[in-house]
Amino acid sequence: MDRRVVITGIGGLCGLGTNHASIWDAMREGRSAIGPIANSELHELKGMIGAEIKTLPEHGLNSKQSNSMDRFSLLAVIAAREAARHAELSIDEGNTYRIGATVGVGVCGWEAVEANYRALLLDGARRAAILTAPKVMPSAAAAHVSMSLGLRGPVFGVTSACASANHAIASAVDQIRPGRADVMLAGGSDAPLVWGVLKSWEALRILAPDTCRPFSADRRGVVLGEGAAIAVLESYQHAARRGAPILAEIAGAGHSADAFDIVAPSVEGPVAAMRACLLDAELNAEDVDYVNAHGTGTRANDQIETEAIKRVFRHHAHSMSVSSTKSVHGHCLGASSALEMIACVMALREGVVPPTANHREPDPACDLDFTPNVPRERKVHVALSNAFAMGGTNAVVAFKRV
């Protein structure tokens, strides 16, 4: 059996834009979406910053459909519909049971949670809104994608904090490789720009007060963002039979757990995940041209990721391009590595490495080529996407040029 899995369509939206093309344009230019948060009907968020979607695009859903979704599910559906159009994917009774979806989320339905707390505790409501339970369940995004597009194959949610989307993509590959499905829509979605989530991250003392500066010596922490991105994954044979546009190949994936600390990262976990990914993809370290780093902008995470990359790639580490696009779209938690999938696919296709924006001062502990501020023209044959999550759950995906 041919184990090759390819990407035939991508879709997304975040603070950078409301489709994959506008997202990539902003990534490539290093144009940041980080700024003051304005879009809150529940709480005053004055003084807080994030990478916010200012206006949602037209999505074609009726009010009954959209009212049954929390924001993270709606973002996933919008991204999935774009990806299906981009892949020229037709879904009917003849193939619906061979097409599925898996969507990663980190914090899921906090918009509905806060609305109900407000109604019950402040406004005197006697009952929660009737659809609260299905709105907040972590699998809601995958369920709504399946209902919106009519997918009756394997459908499930994945949650592993900031590694959720990479885990979802790898899980989708694991449905296609043994033949459980021909096509899977996979990615991630999150909408954490709500008061409770922002205050909980603030309590960790890792939120930056100004912007996100990964790997820069003067970095001051994380900036949260919202968004979603979905890829259409197919077996190579299925894509070829239907004449689908093939954007890239998913060469392999690797996972590990730090088994160390709920918030503090380790070097060994990321090293193990990257090595497992190269082994699964049957790649040598020297085959990799670009690493889209986890790159959150905290002092510990950036130094540890730098050290992990050097341990895995050894002398080749200084020959690769590395960058963190979180510098422009923020840390979108469960959606981050899905948005970074767009960066990897487009870097392969256009031969351009998106920069690490906002980089001002070299850090001796972060001494790789982090592509500071300016995009780099470079032939990219293989790109790795790193996702190293709170709780020590790590997922790395390798993308290959076709």
Q: What is the pairing mode between strands 227-235 and 183-190? A: antiparallel
- Catalytic residue list contains 318: no
- How many CA atoms lie within 13 Å of 113's alpha carbon, on the beta-carbon side? 15
Of 189, 211, 241, the residue that ends a domain is: 241
Q: Given 20, 329, 331, 359, which residue is catalytic?
A: 331
Q: Are residues 217 and 298 in the same domain?
A: no
Burial of 209 (0-12, 13-18, 19+ CB in 10 A): exposed
Range of the domain at 257: 253-400
Q: Is residue 220 part of a domain?
A: yes
Between 239 and 39, name the one with better pLDDT: 239
Q: Which residues contact 237 (CB under 8 A, 6 or more apart)?
A: 2, 4
User: Is the domain of 206 the same as that of 257?
Assistant: no
294 is catalytic: yes
Residue 246 lies in a domain: no
Question: What is the separation of C-alpha 248 from the centre of its chain, rounded to a whole number of angstroms?
Answer: 17
pLDDT tens digits for 192-215?
999 899 999 999 999 999 999 999
Residues 350 and 281: their CA atoms lie apart, in Å, by 22
CA 192, 344, 56, 96: dihedral to nearest 10 degrees? -100
292: number of Cβ within 10 Å: 29
Contact between 355 and 374 (Cβ < 8 Å)? yes
pLDDT-derived band of residue 177, with 50, 70 and 90 as boundaries? Answer: very high
* Residue among 167, 294, 329, 359 flagged as catalytic: 294
pLDDT at 247 over 60: yes
Confidence of residue 39 (pLDDT cuts 50, 70, 90): low
**Of the residues 241, 265, 282, the one at which a domain ends:** 241
Beta bridge partners of 393: 257
pLDDT score of 43: 62
Rounded Cα–Cα distance for residues 117 and 345 (Å): 41
- Specify if 248 maps to a domain: no
- How far apart CA 69 and CA 52 sit, in angstroms, is 19
Task: Using a cut of 0.95, tell me whether the model's pTM lies above it.
Answer: yes
Taking only the tens place, the pLDDT of each residue in 103-144 is 999 998 999 999 999 899 989 999 999 999 999 999 999 999
Residue 47 lies in a domain: yes
Average of per-residue pLDDT across 22-43 = 88
Domain co-membership, 13 together with 111:
yes
* 25 plus 157 within the same structural domain: yes
Contact 285, 314 (CB under 8 A): yes
For residue 41, the model assigns a pLDDT of 62
Residues 27 and 140 in one domain: yes
Residues in CB range of 223: below 8 A, 6 or more apart? 34, 49, 50, 51, 207, 208, 211, 212, 297, 326, 330, 331
Find all residues with CB under 8 Å of 21, minimum gap 6, and list them: none
How open is the CA angle 35-36-41, to the nearest 5 degrees? 135
List 14, 108, 162, 277, catalytic entry: 162
Whether 331 is a known active-site residue: answer yes
pLDDT at residue 341 greater than cutoff 90: yes
